[in-house]
Amino acid sequence: MSSMHRIHWFDEQIRSGRFPNSGGLAQQFEISRRQAQRDIEYMLNTLRAPLVYVAKYRGYCYEDQTFRLPHLYMTDEEQGVLKYLAHRYRHYDYERADTVKRVAHLLERFTMEDHLPKEQYPLFAAPPRHLQWFKLLSHAIEDARKVHIYYKDHEGEHQITFCPVKLTAQFNADYVVGYETDPLQQTPIRLESIVQLTLLEERFECNQDTWMSTWGDALPVRKPFVAEIRFREMQQSELWRGYRIREQKGQVCLIEFHDADVFLQHLYAAEWEELLSPGWLRRKLMKQVEEMTERLSRGQKGREQDG
């Protein structure tokens, strides 16, 4: 049940003259009293509800009876997206990092602003599968529950029983950090590489003093790479598929990026005429295309032989 459902219930109780309190809210929705108190504080500090505690009735009422809750209903899915974006902005450590992290704070508080400031901020994709992994892992970390993960990386395929201890992000990629058996042997797993994830009933001891490490701590601000790309037509925006266009000269754009592998995936799907620079990115792209062509050729020869 989302916090807004609980807040609307609390509002209805007040308007019915029942003087609700944190204890009643916690009991009604089977949450902790601390969480219930945070909901009340959210009404008071963010929604500007004129709440007054009446000691005689051990509950709250409105000092101004004309107050109405703003229309701030969100589905659980929408809140999940906001939570994911807040996580990404919170771990952003490049240019304008301080400003971006303030946006993360606003998202986490479900700000009442109708829109963010018009300054250009980095755009992050929120793939449904990533959101699903993020939600399941958040739940597993909170409850200290083990998970079974099937994932693929450059070393091949892996199936492990994993104790997740934290979610983090580096260089525009999400990771879950945890261990299999030894808390001192932590392993980061990229969410993008996860194929299947299952929560298990088995729990693990979550001793922060044991597993706390520096992996995933804030990294120094890193300057972006710059790709020089020629397009068929001039770009009409300051962004290309979410990447900032630093400079544009006719049909040639200088585009900033941080993660080469992720940027190459965009090049596969996007329309462009020529990758002019940097040379190392051209060679990396050429190598991947050659390997893909070779695999396709082997497959074609195999089918011809079978035929």
At a CB cut-off of 8 Å and minimum separation 6, what does 251 contact? Answer: 230, 231, 232, 233, 234, 273
Q: Residues 281, 164: contact at Cβ < 8 Å?
A: no
Q: Quick check: is 100 in a domain?
A: no
Q: Tell the burial category of 156 from Cβ atoms under 10 Å away from its Cβ (0-12, 13-18, 19+).
A: exposed
Q: What are phi and psi of 176, to 5 degrees?
A: -110, 130
Cα–Cα distance for residue pair 194/162, rounded to 1 Å: 12
Same domain for 262 and 203, yes or no, is no
Same domain for 244 and 267, yes or no, is yes
Q: Is this prediction's pTM over 0.85?
A: no
Q: Quick check: is 98 in a domain?
A: no
Same domain for 200 and 268, yes or no, is no
**Residue 152 sits in a domain of what CATH number?**
2.30.30.520
Q: Is 156 helix (H, G, I), strand (E, B) or coil?
A: strand
Displacement of CA 126 from its chain's centroid (Å): 7
Domain containing 202 equals 128-211
What pLDDT shows up at residue 302?
Answer: 64
Cα–Cα distance for residue pair 217/27, rounded to 1 Å: 38
In tens digits, the chain (307 residues) has pLDDT values of 467 788 889 999 998 899 999 999 999 988 888 889 888 988 888 788 899 999 999 999 998 888 887 755 555 555 666 666 666 666 655 555 566 556 555 555 554 333 334 344 444 455 667 777 888 898 888 888 999 999 987 778 899 999 998 888 765 578 898 999 888 888 889 888 898 999 899 998 865 544 444 444 443 445 678 999 999 999 888 888 777 899 999 999 999 887 777 788 778 878 899 999 999 999 999 998 898 888 888 766 666 666 5
Q: Residues 205, 218: contact at Cβ < 8 Å?
A: no
Q: Quick check: is 229 in a domain?
A: yes
Cα–Cα distance for residue pair 278/227, rounded to 1 Å: 6
Q: Quick check: is 158 in a domain?
A: yes
Same domain for 133 and 206, yes or no, is yes
**Residue 11 sits in a domain of what CATH number?**
1.10.10.10
**What are all long-range contacts of 262-268, with beta carbons under 8 Å and residues at least 24 apart?**
262/172, 262/173, 263/225, 263/227, 264/288, 266/241
Q: What stretches of 173-278 show up as alpha helix (H) in DSSP?
A: 208-211, 260-269
Size of the chain, expressed as the number of residues it contains: 307
Same domain for 198 and 231, yes or no, is no
What pLDDT shows up at residue 298?
Answer: 78
Edge-first strand order for the sheet with 239-240 is 239-240, 243-249, 252-257, 225-230, 274-277
What pLDDT shows up at residue 112?
Answer: 38
Whether the ω angle into residue 278 lies within 30 degrees of 0, i.e. cis, is yes
DSSP 8-state assignment for residue 16: T
Cα–Cα distance for residue pair 85/130, rounded to 1 Å: 11
Same domain for 238 and 187, yes or no, is no
What pLDDT shows up at residue 210?
Answer: 47
Same domain for 231 and 175, yes or no, is no
- Count: domains in the chain: 3
